[in-house]
Amino acid sequence: MRVSAETKQATRDRILRSAQRLFADQGYDATTTRDIARTANIAAGTLFNYFPTKDAIVASWARQALDDATEAFDLEASDVSGLEEDLFSFVALGLRKLKLMRKHLPALLETSLSPLVTHDAGDGPSLRVAQLEVVAKLAAKHGHGEISTVALQMYWSLYAGLLTFWSQDESRKQEDTLALLDQSLNMFVGWLRNNGAARSATNQP
Amino acid sequence: MPSLAQLLESFPETHDADAPADAALSEMIDSTALRPVPLGRMRRFGLLGTLQAKIAAAYLFYWVRGWFTSAAERERLLAETHWKSAARVLDSMSYLRGAAMKVGQTLANFPDVAPRAFVETLDQLHYDAPPMHWSLLAEMVRNELGDDPQQLFARFEQRAFAAASLGQVHRAELRSGEEVVLKIQYPGIARTIREDMRNLLLFLLPSRLSKDWESVKAQADDLRRRLELETDYEAEAATLTAVRSLFREDDGIVVPRVHSQFSTPRILTMDRIKGVHLDEFVARGPTQEQRNEVAKRLIRAWYRMMYSGRLLYLDFHPGNIMVLDDGRVGLLDFGMMLPLNDELWTLFHVIDRALTTGRREDRIAANEMWCDVDRDAWTADRVEITDAYADWCWRARYCGGEFDFGDEADFREGVDLFAKMAARRYTRAKPCTPVICRSQFGWRSILYRLRAKFDIRAIAESEVKATGWDRSDYL
């Protein structure tokens, strides 16, 4: 029997919702794929047709949250004073969308969040690519031209570090993460500015 | 007032080969506005260490050069050294913010200790702390109040209209039409302060060998607790509400009302008080009578909080005082208060006796009790200097009649006596002594700026009388 695309999507959504509930109730480590399948009313084998691992469920959830953030983000916002502020808004919006899964993000450090991974398992380009596309557009908007792969790599390392810090941030309402984000972006944009200036100087006859 | 960069440009030609060029220094200072608050302990420690080294080197350089220069030239060099140190202090404090800015504000309360231009430059800290950009600020509002500023308020000004030592202040309008201000804290500043204080204790470690180490440590701990408490705007809101209830309409003293539904430990929303800061009031050239009226209202507020509220207001500086068009005086910022608990209130009775009677034996008894020093440590020199300082603090109170708080010689006498006590290490005292001294010099320097002349005793006595306190045993 062929399963329609709608049914597939509904099953997939049900698995994600079940996983989210179980992670919240009993924690990520204590939740097994068998638990998730049982709660979603599907056979354990069926679950693996959708998600090969538990990490893949978290990755998919994160991808969805960040896609929502990208869609909601106003790339053309004109009331910001610079790249740093625009990037801050973009990352902060992503954090808000990821809030429910904050504590589970370390599960992705060696997979989707790793700077070395370019594709999520069976799930198209990694969430990294979608995020970096926005970063590149914002850099161009603020006059930094075409952003280098080194700069993007640096950005992603800072971003992955920020998410790791955030996942374990015990400060009130995770306010220390906001301070860290401010500092990280200040460093990144400063580096971009100096590096750009240095490149311009080198290119001069 | 010229900008710091303009002032630095007007420096005499420097002979200091190691010091950065003026232009480079100006650029460095201008760029600090863009730097975020450094949160890592080692990074901050490094900054503090660098700053200390810069200042020490500047003064050492002056000292060595002083061997080879005439007296007039030495004066010029000293002014120059002060200036460069001021620039470096300002640079570092713009960056360190938080607790370090409090140090800047304290220095600014000593108008005649440091060169006037130095103080005026530091004074800018009252208003010009580096800003949070709008995206960060809006995120703090979402984090704390649960929605976008534009959704929560009928109007919200993106541009800060004032800087507070721990955050910045924005004007807004409630949906009900009331005009308010929101004091919004820099994220992570509470942790910054804890780390500053740990660093301060590390710097104090060399004093550990002295017999007064425990007292020094207790004073540093007390300061840490007060600075940490200052980061809790919920506690400040409670204090504001308590203090506000102490005043009546005809007192001419305005304490803003808290809007608790828009207040959290990191955001404090209050009525907007419309007026000018004290410095602007003074700059407008008010008459002696107008200056006296402002001073008298400030002192009445100070005594009302002390005698009726059992609270010491510790944060006297021009940025916390507003003068309204109708002459009323507004007080802002109640984060730094000392509640007079039963133990302190008992001690305060002994002090009150001394500052009311003016008797030397009462002052000495109060000093002995406050300083908590072994009997054999009460040398004649210690008794004489601490008594002279207490006499300076309390003279205006026990003498009564019109007192000239703008007398420069009198103000300088107090500063010199304080410096002499510190130089001889007569600093062993109750843990809250540093903040009380800060407050003492704070209100005296405000009255000095106002060049106020009035009878402070009359105000104090009316405030005591209102509490029903029977002091007939003083006679």
CATH at A23: 1.10.10.60
Are residue B284 and residue B214 in the same domain, yes or no?
no
DSSP state of B13: P
Residue with tokens 């305060």: B348
C-alpha span between A70 and A158 (Å, rounded):
19
B78, exposed or middle or buried, with CB in 10 Å at 0-12, 13-18, 19+? Answer: middle
**Contacts of residue B97 in chain A, CB cutoff 8 Å?**
none
C-alpha span between B371 and B429 (Å, rounded):
4
- Give pLDDT, residue B203: 56
Contact between residue A22 and residue A36 where contact means Cβ atoms under 8 Å apart = yes
- Give pLDDT, residue B95: 42
By residue range, what is the domain housing residue B176? 130-164+166-272
Distance from CA of A77 to the nearest CA of B (A): 12
Are residue B83 and residue B148 in the same domain, yes or no?
no
C-alpha span between A23 and A104 (Å, rounded):
8
Window 255-274 of B, Cβ < 8 Å to A: 265-266
By residue range, what is the domain housing residue A39? 1-51
Are residue A85 and residue A182 in the same domain, yes or no?
yes
Are residue A35 and residue A87 in the same domain, yes or no?
no
**Contacts of residue B265 in chain A, CB cutoff 8 Å?**
172
Q: With CB atoms and an 8 Å threshold, state whether A186 touches B191.
A: no
Are residue A120 and residue A148 in the same domain, yes or no?
yes
Of the partner residues B133, B139, B187, the one whose CB lies closest to the CB of residue A81 = B133
Smallest CA-to-CA distance from A181 within A54, A77, A96, A106 is with: A96
Are residue A17 and residue A39 in the same domain, yes or no?
yes
Give the tokens for residue B400. 């009564």
C-alpha span between B279 and B291 (Å, rounded):
12
Which of A81, A170, A172, A180 is the best substitution to test chain B (most B C-beta atoms within 10 A)? A172
- Tell me, yes or no, if B38 comes closer than 8 A to chain A by beta carbon: yes
Of the partner residues A80, A96, A173, the one whose CB lies closest to the CB of residue B144 = A173
B128, exposed or middle or buried, with CB in 10 Å at 0-12, 13-18, 19+? Answer: middle
**Contacts of residue B34 in chain A, CB cutoff 8 Å?**
186
Total of domains in chain B: 3
- Give pLDDT, residue B267: 96
Smallest CA-to-CA distance from B95 within B189, B32, B39 is with: B32
Minimal Cα distance from B32: which residue of A?
A186
Residue with tokens 């941030």: A169
Total of domains in chain A: 2
DSSP count for chain B of H helices, then E strands: 19, 13
Are residue B138 and residue B183 in the same domain, yes or no?
yes
Are residue B188 and residue B267 in the same domain, yes or no?
yes
C-alpha span between B421 and B367 (Å, rounded):
13
Q: Which residues make beta-bridge pairs with B312?
A: B338
Distances (CA, A) of A144 to A122, A134, A148, A191: 34, 13, 10, 11
For B67, phi and psi rounded to 5 degrees?
Answer: -70, -25
Are residue A41 and residue A64 in the same domain, yes or no?
no
Q: At what angle do helices B213-230 and B189-204 cross, to 10 degrees?
A: 170
- Give pLDDT, residue B112: 42
> Which of B272, B298, B314 corresponds to the end of one domain?
B272
Are residue A89 and residue A43 in the same domain, yes or no?
no
- Between chain A and chain B, the number of residue pairs with CB atoms below 8 A apart is 64
> Which of B272, B294, B321 corresponds to the end of one domain?
B272
Are residue B27 and residue B71 in the same domain, yes or no?
yes
**Contacts of residue B168 in chain A, CB cutoff 8 Å?**
none
Bridge-based pairing of strands B167-173 and B179-185 is: antiparallel
ipTM summary value: 0.84
Contact between residue B100 and residue B93 where contact means Cβ atoms under 8 Å apart = yes
Are residue B65 and residue B158 in the same domain, yes or no?
no
Distance from CA of B151 to the nearest CA of A (A): 16
Are residue B301 and residue B445 in the same domain, yes or no?
yes
Are residue B442 and residue B457 in the same domain, yes or no?
yes
Residue with tokens 């919702």: A17
Minimal Cα distance from B158: which residue of A?
A79
Q: Residue type at A110?
A: E
Minimal Cα distance from B34: which residue of A?
A186
Considering the domain boundaries, does residue A47 fall inside one? Answer: yes
Are residue B447 and residue B305 in the same domain, yes or no?
yes
Mean pLDDT by 10 residues, chain A (205 residues): 80 91 88 93 90 87 89 81 92 94 83 67 65 93 89 89 90 91 88 72 53
Of the partner residues B35, B36, B135, the one whose CB lies closest to the CB of residue A80 = B135
Q: Residue type at B120?
A: E
C-alpha span between B198 and B205 (Å, rounded):
11
Are residue A145 and residue A181 in the same domain, yes or no?
yes
Smallest CA-to-CA distance from B309 within B257, B255, B243, B248 is with: B243
The total number of residues shown for chain B amounts to 475
C-alpha span between A23 and A37 (Å, rounded):
13
Contact between residue B166 and residue B69 where contact means Cβ atoms under 8 Å apart = no
Q: With CB atoms and an 8 Å threshold, state whether A186 touches B35.
A: yes
Alpha carbons within 13 A on the beta-carbon side of B407: 12
- Give pLDDT, residue B230: 82
Through-space distance between the first and last CA atoms of chain A, rounded to whole angstroms: 69
Are residue A34 and residue A64 in the same domain, yes or no?
no
Q: With CB atoms and an 8 Å threshold, state whether A86 touches B140.
A: no
For B338, phi and psi rounded to 5 degrees?
Answer: -115, 105
Bridge-based pairing of strands B253-254 and B329-331 is: parallel
Contact between residue A155 and residue A91 where contact means Cβ atoms under 8 Å apart = no
Are residue A90 and residue A162 in the same domain, yes or no?
yes
CA dihedral B60, B65, B68, B70 (to 10 degrees): -100
Are residue A116 and residue A185 in the same domain, yes or no?
yes
Contact between residue B297 and residue B453 where contact means Cβ atoms under 8 Å apart = no
Residue B312 DSSP SS3: strand
Distances (CA, A) of B348 to B310, B339, B470: 10, 12, 15
Are residue B234 and residue B343 in the same domain, yes or no?
no
- Give pLDDT, residue B213: 67
C-alpha span between B290 and B198 (Å, rounded):
45
Of the partner residues B136, B265, B266, the one whose CB lies closest to the CB of residue A182 = B136
Give the tokens for residue B92. 């570092």
Are residue B236 and residue B116 in the same domain, yes or no?
no
Q: Which residues make beta-bridge pairs with B404?
A: B453
- Mind listing the pLDDT tens digit of every residue in chain B (475 residues)? 334 444 334 333 333 434 443 444 344 434 443 444 444 544 544 444 444 444 444 444 444 444 444 455 655 666 566 555 555 554 554 444 444 455 445 544 444 444 455 455 444 444 333 468 999 999 999 999 999 999 999 999 998 887 776 788 999 999 999 999 999 998 887 777 676 666 656 655 555 555 666 766 777 777 777 777 888 999 999 999 999 999 999 999 999 999 999 999 999 999 999 999 998 999 999 999 999 999 999 999 999 999 999 999 988 888 889 999 999 999 998 988 999 999 999 999 999 999 999 999 999 999 888 887 777 778 899 899 999 999 999 999 999 999 999 998 898 888 788 777 766 777 777 778 877 877 888 889 899 989 999 999 999 999 999 999 988 888 6
Are residue A83 and residue A165 in the same domain, yes or no?
yes
Q: With CB atoms and an 8 Å threshold, state whether B140 touches A96.
A: no
Q: B185: part of which helix (H) or strand (E)?
A: strand B179-185
Residue B179 DSSP SS3: strand
Q: With CB atoms and an 8 Å threshold, state whether A179 touches B144.
A: no
Are residue A174 and residue A88 in the same domain, yes or no?
yes
Residue with tokens 């010029």: B76
Are residue B214 and residue B348 in the same domain, yes or no?
no
Q: Residue type at A133?
A: E
